[in-house]
Amino acid sequence: MRAVKLRKQDLPAFLKCVQSFGELWGPVREKDRQVLKKTDDVNQIDLTTIRTSLPFKKLLFPPRFSMFHFSGNKYTTSLEHLPNRIIFGLHPCDIHALLIMDDFFTRSFDDPYYTERRKKTAIIGFSCIPDEKCFCHATKTDTVEEGFDLFLTDLDDFFLIWVGSSLGDDMTRECPKIIDEGILPEDLKKYVEWRKYRNSQFKMDIDLTSMPEIFDLSYDSVIWEEEGEKCLSCGACTIVCPTCPCYHVYDKIEMGKIEGERMRQWDSCLFKEYSMVAEGHNFRESRAERLKLRFTHKLQAFVGEYGKPACVGCGRCIETCPVDIDIATIVRRLRGEEVKV
């Protein structure tokens, strides 16, 4: 993989330069949180961001959007005029989540509402130092080798940039005056030292080995009732999760008219209506059953289908849950470890 360098003070000029490839989106501080936002002012981008409150999925798979407008037996889709975008600042965990989403929306058939947006989206990843809610080393998503066009590692006085695609290559060649092609042995040494330092900074440790078997053995565990008792069914954990893709589809149509919009909207397996079928029967009536579904899907079912968990250890659900339901605590409890509940 080609690597180049960029001086620290040249980052704003570089981001301005790559704006010729599309709208620039990046983490911007708003009061006490960081949000992924379109910005023309590159100085607004907050490089200290660990996690944005909503992840990249809001751009590739918007919370609510019109799939097509229909009138009689004709329809027009909403896929024309999608903008080219650059998402700056995705950390390795989010890039792994992006790869999971890519797989999910293309494996059985191409979902054009996702893939058309994805084709027009460039990814510039950015290195991070984990905080107390990060556990991407446990999910093995703490480093990335694919899924980005460029990836910047902050090595104090300069950024080491990995070039991950031909589009990324074009971006670096667009800004020749500030991109330095000369990687020196001491630069690589600095990179290796930085990797060691970052590895030493993980504060949370969770053992995710044998989770499929542990879930099998814990199907009737009292833990689900106890944790479900606390859950508010607010769905916030699924809304913020970069690997939760569930949605529902409905028609927006006025009474007496034969035209309208087919809408797609994020859904959550924690909502009571999610598992409700005709005549009002609900397969997961209780909050405990719905909570169990979420964790079983993430750490057992997805492993069977896709060969890896559908959790990338980003810590968003831990940060967001209003009643402190914590994936790490649940895993530890299921493993029989002593935890303070």
* Of 79 and 323, CB closest to ligand SF4: 323
Round to whole Å and give the CA distance between 127 and 50.
10
Round to whole Å and give the CA distance between 103 and 19.
28
Round to whole Å and give the CA distance between 307 and 201.
27
Q: Which residue from 121, 243, 296, 329 is in contact with ligand SF4, where contact means CB under 6 A?
A: 243
Q: Least distance in Å: CB of 131 to ligand SF4? A: 12
Structure tokens at 199: 């590895």
* Of 236 and 303, CB closest to ligand SF4: 236
Round to whole Å and give the CA distance between 167 and 163.
9
CB under 6 A: which stretch of 39-47, 189-197, 201-209, 310-318 binds ligand SF4?
310-318
* Of 26 and 55, CB closest to ligand SF4: 55
Q: Which residue from 316, 329, 330, 331 is in contact with ligand SF4, where contact means CB under 6 A?
A: 316
Round to whole Å and give the CA distance between 52 and 36.
6
Instruction: Please calculate the CA angle 176-177-180 and round it to the nearest 5 degrees.
Output: 75
Residue 321 binds to ligand SF4 (criterion: CB under 6 A) = yes
What end-to-end distance do the CA atoms of the chain give, in Å? 46
Q: Least distance in Å: CB of 120 to ligand SF4? A: 25
Residue 317 binds to ligand SF4 (criterion: CB under 6 A) = yes
Q: Least distance in Å: CB of 260 to ligand SF4? A: 31
Residue 323 binds to ligand SF4 (criterion: CB under 6 A) = yes
Residue type, position 259, single letter: E
Residue 89 binds to ligand SF4 (criterion: CB under 6 A) = no
* Of 121 and 329, CB closest to ligand SF4: 329
Residue 242 binds to ligand SF4 (criterion: CB under 6 A) = yes
Residues 54/87, Cβ–Cβ less than 8 Å: no
CB under 6 A: which stretch of 73-81, 178-186, 305-313, 330-338 binds ligand SF4?
305-313
Q: Which residue from 42, 138, 163, 312 is in contact with ligand SF4, where contact means CB under 6 A?
A: 312
Round to whole Å and give the CA distance between 153 and 67.
38
Selection from 3, 58, 1, 47 nearest residue 245 by Cα: 58
Structure tokens at 261: 């919009």
CB under 6 A: which stretch of 13-21, 115-123, 276-284, 308-316 binds ligand SF4?
308-316
- Phi and psi at 91, nearest 5°, equal -85, 170
Total residues in contact with ligand SF4, by rule CB under 6 A: 26
| Start-end of H helices in 200-301 | 211-217, 222-230, 236-240, 287-296
Q: Least distance in Å: CB of 244 to ligand SF4? A: 7
* Of 130 and 235, CB closest to ligand SF4: 235
Task: State which of positions 198-237 bind ligand SF4 (CB under 6 A).
Answer: 231-237
Residue 144 binds to ligand SF4 (criterion: CB under 6 A) = no
Residue 303 binds to ligand SF4 (criterion: CB under 6 A) = no
Residues 135/314, Cβ–Cβ less than 8 Å: no
Cα separations in angstroms, 58 against 35, 65, 98, 289: 11, 11, 12, 27
* Of 96 and 117, CB closest to ligand SF4: 96
Selection from 129, 181, 123 nearest residue 155 by Cα: 129
* Of 50 and 321, CB closest to ligand SF4: 321
Which residues contribute to the site for ligand SF4 (CB under 6 A)?
231-237, 240-243, 270, 298, 311-317, 320-323, 325, 327
